[in-house]
Chain A
């Protein structure tokens, strides 16, 4: 398996623009997580899905952030409009409840977002 795939790896945009981050979880995993990593706040859970359904979005910072999972193999995190304080590395992770690695999360390479 190729692991969790994220795109793009780097994104530079201007304040006010819409940004869409993409994630493909490991095939067969039924949980998907979006995290944000910054120097100041460390690694924060934004939202997670189970079987494509959002379970907990309490970490989403504000209405400018939205996440979707239209099917088991694809998720997006959208920021509209983007602001400089959104600059961070955004990680996607997936896990499975039916494997011996229950509760172990497998992380993607991350998307480094810079908002100018």
Chain B
């Protein structure tokens, strides 16, 4: 069965620090990959997605993610975080059917 692993449950950073959140999935076929963000008290919003082409995907608010097929990974990065990036981040994988498999999420706390 497909699964998505986010090994970092809670990350605490100071403003301006660089961010990398890990995401690994288990599925051998073609995948579509997503990162969603959930700000405190709000619903999930799409941050970025990968379907095909350039494995380095740029999303909103300065976020980017790199798809490394050989490592089954889709890590999220941001060179310099802001206090407003405090949120929970979810990696998700689609394997062809129209449903998504979500990771358990990583809570990011940015200290001003």
Establish whether residues B46 and A104, one from each chain, have CB atoms under 8 Å apart when the complex forms. Answer: yes
Establish whether residues B45 and A103, one from each chain, have CB atoms under 8 Å apart when the complex forms. Answer: no
Establish whether residues B103 and A107, one from each chain, have CB atoms under 8 Å apart when the complex forms. Answer: no
Q: How many residues of B contact A (CB 8 A)?
A: 20
What 0/1 pattern do residues 78 to 116 of A give for CB contact below 8 A with B? 000000000000010101010000011111111000000
Contact A91/B98 with A42-B104, A43-B105 known, Cβ cut-off 8 Å? no
Establish whether residues B94 and A103, one from each chain, have CB atoms under 8 Å apart when the complex forms. Answer: yes
Bin chain A's interface residue count: 20 to 34
Q: Which of A28-45 contact B (CB under 8 A)?
A: 31, 33, 41-43, 45
Judge whether B102 is part of the interface by a CB distance below 8 angstroms.
yes
Give the interface centre of A42, A43, A95 by most chain B CB atoms within 10 Å: A43
Cross-interface CB contact of A45 among B34, B90, B99, B104, cutoff 8 Å: B99
B30 to chain A, nearest CB (A): 12
Judge whether A66 is part of the interface by a CB distance below 8 angstroms.
no
Establish whether residues B104 and A103, one from each chain, have CB atoms under 8 Å apart when the complex forms. Answer: no
B residues within 8 Å of A by Cβ? 32, 34, 36, 42-46, 49, 51, 90, 94, 98-105
